[in-house]
Amino acid sequence: SVILGIESTCDETGVALVRGTTLLGQGLATSMGEFERYGGIIPEIASRAHLESFLPVLDAALHEADLDLSDVTAIACAAGPGLVGSLTVGICAAKALATSLGLPLYGVNHVIGHLAVDALAEGALPQPCIGLVASGGHSNLLLINNIATDIVELGGTLDDAAGEAFDKVGRLLGLPYPGGPHVDRMAQSGTPDAIRFPRGLAAAKDKDRYRYDFSFSGLKTAVSRYLAANPLPDDETARKQAVADICRAFSESVNDSLSAKAVAAARDNNCDTIVVGGGFAANSRLRELLVERAEAAGVSVRFPPLRLCTDNGAQIAAIGAALVEAGVAPSPLAFGPDTAMPLEQISVR
C-alpha cells in the first residue's frame, strides 16, 4: 500500500508518499521567510501560503516517487495540533482527494508524527520505547507502547517549549528569527561554565511530582536578568563572546533537563531506546549530551536525519502507514481541525 501524507499545521506545506517504512518521495514548501520581518508567524499569511503551495508540493512528491495519484491507497493528513487556518487547508485538500479517489482518510496527530518519522530512516521503532518530542510548541516525554494505538503521556513542559525558549532567548540577544538554530550555533563557541543558569523543576521538592516535566520560562527570566545586570559590550569581538557564553549556559540548562529526564523515563519504564523528534532534535548539544548519558545507562538514542526533524509530509505519511499496518479504522469524514489535539490521541477515530 502507498500512503499519501499531508502536513499543514503551521508554516510548512508538506506532502510525502510512503510504502511501509520506505519514503518514496516528498515535496515541501515553507512560508517562514515571510515572517522574518514580523518576528513571528501571521496565521492568515501562513494559511494563504498553504493554499498556493499545496498543488505544486503534491506534484513534486508524486514526481520524486515516480507515482500517479491512482497508485495511492490511503491518505493521512495532520488533524492537529496547530493553527486552525493552516490545518483547515490541509484537511480540506485531504478530504477532496480521499473523496474523489474513493480512498480511506486518516486525520493524525502532527506531534506523534515527529516521532513516527524516524521509522523511515532506521526502520520500525522497538516498542515499548520512550519518545522525547522537542519542538517549537512541545517538550514532552511519552511512553510509546505502540505508535499506532497506544501512547501514554509521561509529562511535558509546564510553560515554554524548548524551541520556543531558544527563540525567545535569541530575540533577547538580538539574533535573527527563528532564534533556535542561531543560539545553538553561538553556544558552540561559548566558554564552558563561564555562566551557570538554574535548571527548572530540579529542586528536591519537585523531583517526584514533576519527574517527567520541564519548565523553561524561569530560565528565560534568568537570562534577561543576567543581561540587565551585565549589558552586552559595544566592542564587536567582546560582544560576540558574551553572547556565545550566554547561549552556551542557556543551552546547557535546557539540554541538561531534557536529557536527564529522558534517560530517567527510559530507566523507570524498562525501555532500551529513546526516540527524539521535532525541530529541536536538530540541536547539537542535545545530540551530544543525550547520547552520552543514555549510553552510560545502556540506552540507545535514535534521532531522525536533520531534514526530517522539522515539519514535513513524511511524518504524517509515516503515522498513516503505521495505522494501516495496525488495522486501525480510518477517520470519519466529518472531522475538522483540532488545534489542541491531545498527545495520547494518535488519530481521529
> What is the size of the binding site for Mg ion (CB under 5 A)?
2
Residue 76 touches which of Fe ion, Mg ion, ligand ATP, none (CB < 5 to 8 A by kind)?
A: none
Q: Report in angstroms how near the CB of residue 46 gets to Fe ion at its nearest.
A: 13
Is the Cα torsion angle 235, 236, 241, 245 positive or negative in sign?
positive
Site residues for ligand ATP per CB under 6 A: 9-10, 82, 110-111, 114, 135-138, 163-164, 166-167, 178, 180-181, 184, 278-280, 282-283, 310-311
Ligand-binding annotation for 311, yes or no, is yes
Q: Binder to Fe ion among 26, 53, 135, 253 (CB under 5 A)?
A: 135
Ligand-binding annotation for 133, yes or no, is yes
Q: Report in angstroms how near the CB of residue 7 gets to ligand ATP at its nearest.
A: 9
Which residues touch 184 (CB under 8 Å, ≥6 apart)? 166, 247, 251, 282, 283, 284, 285
Ligand-binding annotation for 184, yes or no, is yes
Is residue 311 within the footprint of Fe ion (CB under 5 A)?
Answer: yes
Ligand-binding annotation for 283, yes or no, is yes
Residue 166 touches which of ligand ATP, Fe ion, Mg ion, none (CB < 5 to 8 A by kind)?
A: ligand ATP
Q: Report in angstroms how near the CB of residue 28 gets to Mg ion at its nearest.
A: 11
Q: Report in angstroms how near the CB of residue 219 gets to ligand ATP at its nearest.
A: 14
Is residue 253 within the footprint of Fe ion (CB under 5 A)?
Answer: no
| Nearest to ligand ATP of 245, 311 (CB atom) | 311
| Nearest to ligand ATP of 27, 163 (CB atom) | 163
| Nearest to Mg ion of 31, 253 (CB atom) | 31
Binding residues: 110, 114, 133-137, 167, 180, 184, 283, 311
Binding-site residue positions for Fe cation = 110, 114, 311
Task: List interacting residues with Mg ion (CB under 5 A).
Answer: 10, 311
User: Which residues of this chain interact with Fe ion, rule CB under 5 A?
Assistant: 135, 311
